[in-house]
Amino acid sequence: QKEVEQDPGPLSVPEGAIVSLNCTYSNSAFQYFMWYRQYSRKGPELLMYTYSSGNKEDGRFTAQVDKSSKYISLFIRDSQPSDSATYLCAMKSSSNYKLTFGKGTLLTVNP
């Protein structure tokens, strides 16, 4: 079983839709969860950072962690064409620099 599973998509939605991106993981030691956004021909940039279970909101983005189910989500409200990118989930255990990434989900928001 892979440590982190993420559906690579592609996912295509109309502008204004609510987007849900998800990852599952198997390592119960993971405590810190991140979402990176990667535009075409660019490096990943950190979008959201959450610790343990719960929700975190930042503008149109909400990150959700359910440690009991080993499941994390990123919700994008009122999606815009500028949100079109690959979204990578990443996670790490406590006091460890090493990130474990999902494969990334390619999202296209159509105007």
Partner 1 sequence: ETGVTQTPRHLVMGMTNKKSLKCEQHLGHNAMYWYKQSAKKPLELMFVYNFKEQTENNSVPSRFSPECPNSSHLFLHLHTLQPEDSALYLCASSQGDRTSTDTQYFGPGTRLTVL
Tell me which residues touch partner 1 (CB under 8 A): 4, 8, 31-32, 34, 36, 41-46, 49, 51, 88, 90, 94-104
Which residue's CB is nearer to partner 1, number 25 or number 79? 25
- CA distance linking residue 45 with residue 39, whole number of Å: 9
Q: Using DSSP, state whether 47 is helix, strand or coil.
A: strand
Identify the bridge partners of residue 35 per DSSP, sorted by sequence position: 48, 89
Minimum CB separation of residue 56 from partner 1 in Å reads 14
Which residue's CB is nearer to partner 1, number 19 or number 88? 88
Burial (Cβ within 10 Å: 0-12, 13-18, ≥19) of residue 30: buried
Minimum CB separation of residue 51 from partner 1 in Å reads 7
